[in-house]
Amino acid sequence: MRQLNVWAMLGIWAGLSLGAALYAAWEGYEGRAFAATVATFSILLLVMLAFAARGVAEGLAERFGPAGGFLLGACVFVAFVSYLVGTGSFAVERAGAMAAFVFVPLGFAVSSGGAAGGSWQDFLIVAGVWVFVKFGPTHWMWPYPGGRLAYVFTVLMAVNVALACFLLVRRAKGVGYSIGWGKNWGLYVLGSFVVFGCVAIPLGVRMRFIAFDPHWGNWRGLLVGSLGILFLTAWPEELLFRGLLQNFLARASKSELAGWWTASMLFGLSHITNLGFPNWRYVILAAIAGLFYGWTWRRTGSIFASALVHAGVDVTWHFLFRTI
């Protein structure tokens, strides 16, 4: 695999950060609160992207050991406190809740004592991160601007915590946290996307879950929407469900097949509350999608490849179909 180096990743980070800042300024945001929010977003995004560059995670783990995880945790926690102070929303309760979210998982990671990947601590951390993102008080913790960025910041913080726990403290093997390209990846990504579409579209229509309804008026936002889906939905979910959960399940069960199928079923069940509980149609389609994402991850060893399939599916759904 040809993995992007740190300079290429910094270029991507600079472009995304500048684009986000300019868009927010165009929307009319300004002042200290705006500056604090942009700075926090840039810091969290920098960590998420930098760790996907060649040699960064390995180099930091070698240099700092498990202490590097706590150092990273402290940095992102300080960024959160700076956001609270800068936006005039500081509260001890908010800072305390974020401190628990950052440092409790790190404590469990250290308590594993160097056990092989797939320890009970690993599964507990993965479950805790998912619960916090799915059901946590995100709008309360990120109140500015009006809670509109609560999901974005929560996802970025969750990825940062996972990186600190699993790439620095646990030094988990086979996660595939990288951005790059390898031999035959185009075939795997495109093939997985096309075959899943041939299965999911007729099934979704038959179950009366989706209907073909192209949103031609929204195509101007295709690029921005696609980047948002890739980095803020597909990438974090592929890290959690493939790079970590499927990886650990396969190691714990000593079966790649068991890890793949179990992670896919859990991925499906994680969507049961979407668009109304219990949404079994969503569960079925998401579980099938998980099989294709998991297959792509297994074939390439990278969450970037599975995230591309994942993002392609979500973009196609949002722009070409209507959920019934």
Q: Domain ranges in the chain?
A: 1-173, 175-324
Tell me the CA distances in angstroms from 279 to 82, 272, 312, 315, 323, one per residue in order: 39, 5, 22, 21, 12
Confidence at 255, pLDDT banded by 50, 70, 90: very high
Provide CB contacts within 8 A for 265, sequence distance 6+. 287, 290
Structure tokens given for 321: 């179909």
pLDDT at 216: 81
Handedness of CA 313, 315, 320, 324 (dihedral sign): positive
pLDDT at 211: 96
Provide CB contacts within 8 A for 138, sequence distance 6+. 147, 150, 151, 153, 154
Q: Is the pLDDT of residue 215 over 90?
A: no
- H or E segment and range at residue 211: strand 210-212
Distance CA 281, CA 273 (A): 11
Q: What is the DSSP code (8-state) at residue 210?
A: E
Q: Is the pLDDT of residue 279 over 90?
A: yes
Residue 124 · residue 108 · CB < 8 Å: yes
- Residue 19: other Cβ atoms inside 10 A: 12
Provide CB contacts within 8 A for 215, sequence distance 6+. 318, 319, 320
Q: What is the DSSP code (8-state) at residue 65?
A: T
- Amino acid residing at 152: V
Confidence at 1, pLDDT banded by 50, 70, 90: confident
Residue 41 · residue 157 · CB < 8 Å: no
Confidence at 219, pLDDT banded by 50, 70, 90: confident
pLDDT at 73: 98
- CA proximity to 68, closest of 165, 143, 140, 194: 165
pLDDT at 142: 98
Provide the whole-model pTM: 0.96
- Could you read off the pLDDT of 66-102 as tens digits, one per residue? 999 999 999 999 999 999 999 999 999 999 999 999 9
